[in-house]
Amino acid sequence: QIGSILPPVDWAGDGRAWLLHNTHPQKGGLMDIHGRRGVLFPDDGHPVLCSEAVDIDGDGHQEVLSWDFSAIWIYRADPAVVGEARGYDSTPVYNNSNYRGRWLLSKD
């Protein structure tokens, strides 16, 4: 399977960081710090070559992007379930590369 830098994701807006392994329906998902899959992605035909977690719409919640050479799909937590957006200090997008660490620190 494709490698991952395990970017942290506050999927539910509750301050709990999940690690994005990849978006493969059977082998991937968001994992806790013990490697247990807690958030699974549907088997809906989405691309699984690459994935990243980024707040692309600026609402304070991270979306999970999943793409390959021909398509990109965007997943987000159900807005009816997600808590209020929290302020985070995270890796600036302009610092992204294949050789990086990631952080997600609460500003509280």
pLDDT of residue 3: 62
pLDDT per residue as tens digits for the range 38-85: 999 999 999 999 998 888 888 888 899 999 999 999 999 887 777 777
User: Which of 24, 21, 29 is CA-nearest to residue 3?
Assistant: 21
pLDDT of residue 4: 73
pTM: 0.82
State the residue for tokens 């294949």. 98
> Can you tell me the distance from the alpha carbon of 37 to that of 25, in angstroms, rounded to the nearest whole number?
11
Which two tokens mark 107? 């500003």
pLDDT per residue as tens digits for the range 89-104: 676 777 777 666 666 6
Q: Does the pLDDT value for residue 2 go beyond 60?
A: no
